[in-house]
Amino acid sequence: METASFKIYTSISQLPANWDKIAVNNAFLQTAYLKVLEASAPVNMQCFYIGIFENSELTGVALAQYLNLNLLESFGERDNCLKTVIRNFVFKNFASHALFLGNNMITGQNGYAFSKETDFKHISELLLQCADAISLYFKKKKTTIHIVSFKDFYQHCAVELKKYSFSNVYEFNTQPNMVFELRPEWNTNEDYVASFSKKYRDQYKRAHKKCEEIEVRELQYEEIILHEERIYDLYHHVAKNAPFNTFFLAKNHFSTFKKQLQDQFVICGYFLNGKLVGFHTLLINGDVLETYFLGYDDHIQKEKMLYLNMLYNMTKYGIENQFKKIIFGRTALEIKSSIGAQPIMMSGFIYHNNPLINRFIDSIFKRLEPTLEWQQRHPFKD
């Protein structure tokens, strides 16, 4: 890799013809998904696609995203404590131009892929060089990138990166990624339910009974178009009530996703008396099922235990279609653990382009990151 170089693209049409051969094992780096981002990215996001070459041969691909937080309607409306007010002020004034190496829209190590074994020394060097190149691109446009973040690494990768160029970059851990490793002996949903202890089997039955009046069905492209406004309203309600946001999806995001990825993207609608009251989405990523965005009517959710039923339904889909694991992502850790998901710690790296602020980035970050307390549940008999 001594002769490694990279090229940054701003359009899918510019990408090398063999891009997808490099990204074959990660749907979030393949052009079908990247076209979704290009056509329906959040209004405050610009994507960059990075080709990594060795002796002019494409050997790696990566994704970067620029976010202009000044264009954001809200950072999140759920928490109104003083820490949240201060955090929002700091982000608005000192971190409004953010660059992410990786995908800020999903949880997991989806930032890069290589066609051959690549050591972490060169990966760390390349990621930092790419960040510098994109920061310079914006500087020429009279925009200063405030913070640069390298998103979501599994612990063993983070340890390796710290040995090299990332040694002086602040490492942080936020909420864990909730991952459900599906047991090979579960061939049906009944097998899964039977493995619960009595307490959690009763929870399943109670939630299931609450949702008896709800019709759940997979939506095809034409139905997504028909319900697009309602789908967005349900998503937006959930998103704006999250503790913190850096983007909001475009209104055409889900229909664009379905049109582009077809059977690889699943969206299920929840109907009560013919009215759409919720939805969840899934992305098929090889033998891994990735949960994506969802939305619901808050009143119906409380009355019908809608969110818990969504988690059960996503699990059922994963088991019946023989996926090895389900990535449930961050947030709602306790309820996700109650259906069987386990917390997997992930690391990110971050620095501020202002040397003075960056000097104190560790203490600043710790003060701004909300403290999360939760109890992990253990729903199975053994």
Residues 139 and 189 reside in one and the same domain: no
Chain segment 153-187, per-residue pLDDT in tens: 999 999 999 999 999 999 998 889 999 999 999 99
Q: Does residue 64 lie within any of the structural domains?
A: yes
What's the mean pLDDT in 214-218? 98
Average pLDDT of the residues in 138-142: 96
Task: Decide if 380 is inside a domain.
Answer: no
- Domain check: are 350 and 335 in the same one? no
Residue 379 lies in a domain: no
Amino acid 77: pLDDT: 47
Residues 98-103: what's their mean pLDDT? 96
Please provide the average confidence, as pLDDT, over all residues in the chain.
92
User: Of 1, 27, 32, which Cα lies nearest the Cα of 15?
Assistant: 32
Whether 290 is in a domain gets the answer yes
Q: What is 278-319 written as a DSSP string?
A: EEEEEEEETTEEEEEEEEE-HHHHHHHTHHHHHHHHHHHHHH
Q: Report CA 226 to chain centroid distance, whole Å.
A: 26
How many beta carbons lie within 10 A of that of residue 303, not counting itself? 13
In 3D space, the residue among 29, 22, 11, 177 whose CA is nearest the CA of residue 103 turns out to be: 29
Do 354 and 276 sit in the same domain of this protein? no
Q: Is residue 375 part of a domain?
A: no
Does a structural domain hold residue 374? no
How many whole angstroms separate alpha carbon 195 and alpha carbon 180? 14
pLDDT above 70: residue 1: no
Say whether pLDDT at 353 is over 70: yes
Residues 6 or more apart in contact with residue 167 via CB below 8 angstroms: none
Q: What is the pLDDT of residue 78?
A: 44
Residue labelled with tokens 């994963």: 318
The length of the chain in residues reads 382
For residue 22, pLDDT beyond 60: yes
Look at the block and give the residue holding tokens 């098929």. Answer: 284
Please report which confidence band the pLDDT of residue 95 belongs to, taking 50, 70 and 90 as the band edges.
confident
Are 338 and 215 found together in one domain? yes
The answer to whether residue 316 is domain-embedded is yes
274 and 352 in a single domain? The answer is no
CB 152 within 8 A of CB 28: no
Residues 182 and 41 in one domain: no
Looking up residue 70, the CATH number of its domain turns out to be 3.40.630.30
Q: Flag whether pLDDT at 54 surpasses 70.
A: yes
Distance, in Å, from the CA atom of 24 to the CA atom of 15, rounded to the nearest integer, reads 15
How many domains would you assign to the chain? 2
Same domain, 183 and 328: yes
Residues 116 and 242 in one domain: no
Contact 182, 319 (CB under 8 A): yes
Note the pLDDT of residue 93.
58
Does the structure show a pLDDT above 80 at 72?
no
Do residue 212 and residue 355 come from a single domain?
Answer: no
Report which secondary-structure segment, H or E, holds 210: helix 198-210
373 within a domain of the structure (yes/no): no
At residue 245, the pLDDT reads: 78
Query: Percent of the chain at pLDDT above 90?
Result: 83
Return the pLDDT at 246: 83
* SS3 state at 285: strand
Domain hosting residue 234, numbered range: 178-343
Q: Looking at residue 377, what is its pLDDT?
A: 96
94 and 234 co-located in one domain: no
pLDDT score at 88: 58
Residue 315 phi/psi, 5-degree rounding, is -65, -45
Mean pLDDT of all residues in 274-300: 96
Give yes or no: residues 9 and 94 share one domain.
yes
The verdict on 28 and 95 lying in the same domain is yes
Instruction: Please state the φ and ψ torsions of residue 54, each to the nearest 5 degrees.
Output: -125, 115
pLDDT at position 92 is: 58
CB of 39 closer than 8 Å to CB of 48:
no
Query: Is residue 81 scored above 80 in pLDDT?
Result: no
| Confidence (pLDDT) at 89 | 57
What was the pLDDT predicted at 372?
Answer: 76
